[in-house]
A and B are shown apart, each in its own frame.
Chain A
Amino acid sequence: MIKLLLNRIVVLFITFIGITVITFVVINISPGKPQDMMDMSTRISFEAKQRLVKLYGLDKPLHIRYFNWFLRVIRLDFGTSFKDDKPVLKKISERLPATLLLNILSLGIIFFVGCTIGILSAMYQNKFFDKLTTIVVFLGYSIPRYWLAILCMIVFGIKLNWLPISGLRSVNWEYLPFVGKIWDILKHLILPVAISSFSGLAGLARYVRGSMIEQLNCEYIKFALSKGTQRKKVVFYHAFRNVLIPVVTILGLSLPDLIGGGFIFETIFAYPGMGRLGYEAIMARDYPLIMGIGTITAALTLLGNFIADIVYVYVDPRVRYK
């Protein structure tokens, strides 16, 4: 058990180094790399350029620059933004809570709704509900999420006027009572959360359905039934416990997709999260900010996968007691 944990931590560390290498290399070898930009961009002040050359040692060879950069990164020093000279870490930490809120809510929705749909389809296999969800799930897989976002904005925001379509708070938020404040934020969250969880939900529902059907055909299910256990309990206590274990891993693996999707519809919904910050940074070619966001999102994903791994080991007795 402890050996396994140590092994995972070593792998985690190696992967983290890999992430920083890729982030660094991708940016530094692509055409339009920062040092080229230094020459042509007029958006950057002269002092900023000087500081950058010094800070990033742009005159030094690639591997030395990487090493220096890496040493700063592990101290969480990502430099300052080109745009407004604010520390990158500060800019990110301002936006991070909103993104975490969005992603944790989405993960929760994906988990509960996806599992519920999957279990129900498996229980009523080939009945109307199952056939309907199979089609919806298949289409859900293919739909461009940002388009769905725009359609939902048109229908629920503009035509029906039920939900706000941008930001996280209304302009008069400050003046609302406490309950009103929470309700206001919730209303702003409905569309972004619904859209961002949509395709993950479709995927998970499909997985849970298949895996439930497989488990329900296992002999131990028949044995549990032959003990006089109620069908409901057999489905949720016996079969679902077995399905739940890989679901943990799948949720971990869906993180990059979730965060990646955030870049586009956080922008659409003008949601004040890290995704929109990343998009703005990219549009402004704000090099330190882009690298900071890239490293932090990848590291967060890595952390998510690591937690999923640990939970997996913990919940599956076959791995725990090898």
Chain B
Amino acid sequence: MNKQLVIGIIIVSILIFTALFAKFISPYDPIQQDLTNRLQPPSLKHLFGTDELGRDVFSRMIFSTRVSLSVGIIAVSIATVIGTILGLISGYYGGKIDLIIMRLVDIMLCFPTFFLILMVISFMKPSIYNIMVVIGLTSWPGLARYVRGEVLSIKEREYVLSAKLAGLGTSRILFVHILPNVIVPVIVTFSLGIGSAILTESALSFLGLGVQPPNPSWGNILTSGKDYIHIAWWLSLFPGMAIFITVVGFNFLAEGLRILLNPKEQ
């Protein structure tokens, strides 16, 4: 166990705990308005203050954890499955298939991903399910390219050649003999990807294209923060801090896993 992994696990566990038990932890109803207590600065009663409709920011932030984590995990699962499979196929078969997939990767990498997501989201009804799918469908190319590179070197190794000679089926060779060798970078990318998917989701919510009010999300609390930037600093500080810590947590987890699973690094 290394330092990074420990920090990562602690942060991620706290987040998961918060998401699961949001109902019991949060002191107030996250969408309950209280117009007499609008824009209250942080106090013992309202730990992180209240927003422009008098809602408790702390409670809203706790419930946001659910949205962010689920968007992160599901979106990245989609991207990981697509990226890994396309990378495996592209690297293993080579030739025209490889050429087509890699050209597609190049094209995808030319787009500012965020604009592509914005473009698609803007034409759909904003909902977290759409966001998950769209983030998933746009963030696989990097992983596919990486897996392909690894497969190219692995498929020339002797145990793969001997598996081929033994007459094993392609899918068996791919998933039993090759996949385990690329699983470490895939896991690391998974964890890193969650961080960046959460960043994307919060940015979309910030722009009003993600989670819709009155449902809370770190991103849309920040929107109020921006609107009341001159008077209510707490609306900007705390949700951003939450996103920051979450992303740091997943990045630490990724870094820690990389060191743990990579014997050479030790």
Contact = CB atoms under 8 A, between A and B. Distances in A.
A302 B243 contact: no
A57 B208 CA distance: 32
A253 B112 CA distance: 10
B103 A14 contact: yes
Interface stretch (A15-23, A83-91, A311-319): A15-23
B226 A143 contact: no
Interface in A52-81: none
B119 A27 contact: yes
Given A143-B244, A154-B233, A26 B114 contact: no
Given A19-B107, A279-B118, A33 B113 contact: no
A144 B125 contact: no
A168 interface: no
B120 interface: yes
Contacts of B114: 260-261, 263-264
B125 A294 contact: no
B247 interface: yes
Interface stretch (B76-84, B86-94, B195-203): B195-203
Contacts of A305: 110
A84 to B, nearest CB: 19
A138 interface: yes
B104 A30 contact: no
B44 interface: no
Nearest to B4: A138
A153 B207 contact: no
Contacts, number: 137
Contacts of A18: 103-104, 106-107
A156 B258 CA distance: 38
B226 A150 contact: yes
Contacts of B109: 253, 256
Interface string A1-20: 00000000001001100110
Chain A interface, DSSP helix/strand/loop, else mixed: helix
Q: Kindly state the interface size class of chain B when it binds its partner.
A: 35 or more
B166 to A, nearest CB: 39
Interface residues of A, number: 51
Contact of B236 (A147, A256, A261, A298): A147
Interface in A126-162: 138-139, 141-144, 146-148, 150-151, 153-154, 158
B159 interface: no
B250 to A, nearest CB: 8
B49 interface: no
A151 B237 contact: yes
A283 B237 CA distance: 26
8 contacts: A22-B107, A22-B108, A26-B116, A279-B207, A283-B122, A290-B122, A294-B116, A297-B115
Interface of A: 11, 14-15, 18-19, 22-23, 26-27, 30-33, 138-139, 141-144, 146-148, 150-151, 153-154, 158, 253, 256-257, 259-264, 267-268, 278-279, 282-283, 285, 290, 293-294, 297-298, 301-302, 305
